[in-house]
Amino acid sequence: MFDSWGRAVYRRRRLVLEIAAIAAIAVALLAAWSTGVSGQLQSSGGFTPSSSESHRSSDLAAAFGGDAGDVVVLYSSPTQAVRSPAFRAAVTSVLARLPRSRVDSVATYWSTGSPQFVSASGRETFALIELAGSDDSARRSNYDAIRWQLLSPWLQTQVGGMVPTSMAISQEVTSDIGRAEVFSLPLLLIVLLLIFGSLAAASLPLAIGGLAILGSFTALRLLTLVTTVSIYSVNITTILGLGLGIDYGLFLVGRFREELYRRRSVEEALARTMATAGRTVAVSGITVAMALASLMLFPETFLRSMGYGGVATVLIDLLAALTVMPALLAVLGWNVNAMRIRPTVVRRSAAERSGRWFRLAQSVMRYPLAYAIPIGVVLLVLASPVQRVAWGGTDATVLPAGALRGLYARYGSREPEWAPMRAEPVRQPART
């Protein structure tokens, strides 16, 4: 079957590449939309089933106002006390202007009379804001609309709470993924150049991996339209996308070059490549996808989401490896070895016994303990920090220092004019 598929792709390689080009254009158009998937993912919670008693208790507590702190705004002054009329005016005038369509309730020291809202120094206080919206996406949208309205012109302002934290986590995840790809892709290209010895061959696995990542991001973004998807799905997507793309690319490109050096025609080489390495890739991809699909059986959102991301990535990697890759190999032919950085050493016959990798494999099989013991010791040393790992949930502690300082107002060069300020009423928090 795979032999016939390889021949069919060779004969219709132009058509396959045209379809792949259309798909690539579609992926490029969707790239900006799909790479914004982190903003639509659930960055907190998702660790308990919706049918569990703890989850129902949490929902019940929220219904009675037990979880009203979507946004926590800290106001402080180096000179003025919270209990002074001027400080009250500076805070209440800001909060009273918040649109009712975006905010359900606001709780402050002046609306509750609770001394817990005032710091020990007496110069800091906070406001608890409950945002309108029935889900995380709606509350994020409402917070984004009012975030700059929370600033006081006279007070130092800092923002925290569940919604700003989850948005900061999403932004950090997006930024970290981009930074990781910037560092990892050049390193991977160097490794592949050393393995293949030519830029053309080394670029093919990276292309498959990049296509898989963008495609899986698009799939996740589409899933967020119909179900809740955790931010943990992004981690498994980036890991599997590049890993499997390079893995499958090594299989296919390496075998194709070996078949070419056995003096086969390009069509025959591609047919043999798909009949051997192509079949291996198909079996591997289907096995991995089925294993990851089992995560979808769990009721916890974060496990189910990892299943979504993993299966989407594997299937797109598999599809690209079995269609786009053979079409590219068919078009390149012997040019797969173009832009060499060193002479390419490929076995010219199955009977040939030479090369560094062959000698290394022979040595490992001859002296297994001599290799296993030192390598095992090195791995144990590298794994030793796991003994001090601290497990926990997703909260503000996962963010780097200063990640929540985006909404921050400093004092001007002159002392604030407190006298003209006039106290304005603050809406009372919703009561049940």
Q: Is residue 387 part of a domain?
A: no
DSSP secondary structure, 155-171, as one string: SEEEEESHHHHHHHHHH
Q: Is residue 267 part of a domain?
A: yes
pLDDT for 24 equals: 64
Buried/exposed code over 263-295 (b: 16+ C-beta within 10 A; e: otherwise) = ebebbbbbbbbbbbbbbebbebbeebbeebeeb
pLDDT for 432 equals: 39
Q: Give the type of residue at 62.
A: A
**Cβ atoms of residues 287 and 247 within 8 Å:** no
Residue 373's pLDDT band (cuts 50, 70, 90): very high
pLDDT for 367 equals: 93
pLDDT for 209 equals: 79
How many C-beta atoms surround the C-beta of residue 365 within 10 A? 9
Shared domain for 193 and 283, answered yes or no, is: yes
Distance between CA 78 and CA 155 in Å, rounded?
Answer: 9
Shared domain for 187 and 141, answered yes or no, is: no
Q: Is residue 362 part of a domain?
A: no
CATH of the domain at 323: 1.20.1640.10
Local structure of residue 91 (DSSP, 8 states) = H
Q: Is residue 398 part of a domain?
A: no
**Cβ atoms of residues 92 and 424 within 8 Å:** yes
| Residues of the domain holding 106 | 70-160+404-432
Shared domain for 327 and 190, answered yes or no, is: yes
β-pair partners for 409: 157
pLDDT for 226 equals: 75
Q: Is residue 375 part of a domain?
A: no
299, two tokens: 């009721």
Q: Mean pLDDT check: name the lowest of 12-21, 94-103, 112-121, 416-425.
A: 416-425
Local structure of residue 269 (DSSP, 8 states) = H
Kindly compute the dihedral angle of the four CA atoms of residues 107, 108, 114, 118, in this order, to the nearest 10 degrees: 140
Q: Mean pLDDT check: name the lowest of 180-184, 326-330, 331-335, 428-432.
A: 428-432
pLDDT for 62 equals: 54
Shared domain for 36 and 92, answered yes or no, is: no
pLDDT for 416 equals: 37
Shared domain for 156 and 266, answered yes or no, is: no
Shared domain for 268 and 332, answered yes or no, is: yes
pLDDT for 20 equals: 65
pLDDT for 369 equals: 93
pLDDT for 424 equals: 40
Q: 26-34 — which CB contacts under 8 Å span 24+ positions?
A: 27/211, 27/214, 27/215, 27/218, 30/214, 30/218, 31/214, 33/218, 33/221, 34/214, 34/217, 34/218, 34/220, 34/221
Claim: this prediction has a pTM higher than 0.75: no
Q: In what order do the strands lie in the sheet with 103-107?
A: 103-107, 124-131, 71-76, 156-160
pLDDT for 162 equals: 81
Domain end among 319, 337, 352: 352
Q: How many helices (H) and strands (E) does the chain have?
A: 15, 4
Residue 4's pLDDT band (cuts 50, 70, 90): confident
Q: For the chain, what is the mean pLDDT? A: 75
pLDDT tens readout for residues 36-76: 555 555 555 555 556 666 556 665 655 554 455 788 888 98
Given a cut of 90, whether residue 178 has pLDDT beyond it is no
Looking at the structure of the chain, the number of domains it has is: 2
Shared domain for 279 and 417, answered yes or no, is: no
Shared domain for 178 and 296, answered yes or no, is: yes
Shared domain for 81 and 31, answered yes or no, is: no
Domain end among 332, 352, 372: 352
Given a cut of 50, whether residue 412 has pLDDT beyond it is no
Instruction: Return phi, psi of residue 262, to 5°.
Output: -90, 15
Degrees to nearest 5, angle at CA 276 with 251 and 359: 55
Residue 175's pLDDT band (cuts 50, 70, 90): confident
**Cβ atoms of residues 156 and 409 within 8 Å:** yes
Shared domain for 209 and 307, answered yes or no, is: yes
Q: Mean pLDDT check: name the lowest of 110-119, 259-268, 421-430.
A: 421-430
DSSP three-state, residue 101: coil
Distance between CA 355 and CA 343 in Å, rounded?
Answer: 13
Q: Is residue 365 part of a domain?
A: no
Q: Mean pLDDT check: name the lowest of 4-18, 223-237, 404-418.
A: 404-418
Local structure of residue 427 (DSSP, 8 states) = P
Instruction: Report the candidate in 206, 285, 218, 193 with the shortest Cα–Cα distance to residue 245.
Output: 206
Shared domain for 173 and 148, answered yes or no, is: no
pLDDT tens readout for residues 217-273: 777 777 777 777 777 777 777 778 888 888 888 888 888 888 888 766 888 888 888
pLDDT tens readout for residues 283-323: 999 999 999 888 888 877 777 878 888 888 888 888 888 88
Instruction: Report the candidate in 163, 177, 240 with the shortest Cα–Cα distance to residue 34.
Output: 177
Given a cut of 90, whether residue 199 has pLDDT beyond it is no
Given a cut of 60, whether residue 168 has pLDDT beyond it is yes
Q: Is residue 220 part of a domain?
A: yes
Distance between CA 219 and CA 313 in Å, rounded?
Answer: 9
Distance between CA 184 and CA 191 in Å, rounded?
Answer: 11
Place of tokens 């790479």: 35
pLDDT for 316 equals: 86
Domain end among 328, 352, 376: 352
Shared domain for 14 and 79, answered yes or no, is: no
For the chain, give the number of residues: 432
Q: Is residue 390 part of a domain?
A: no
pLDDT for 365 equals: 92
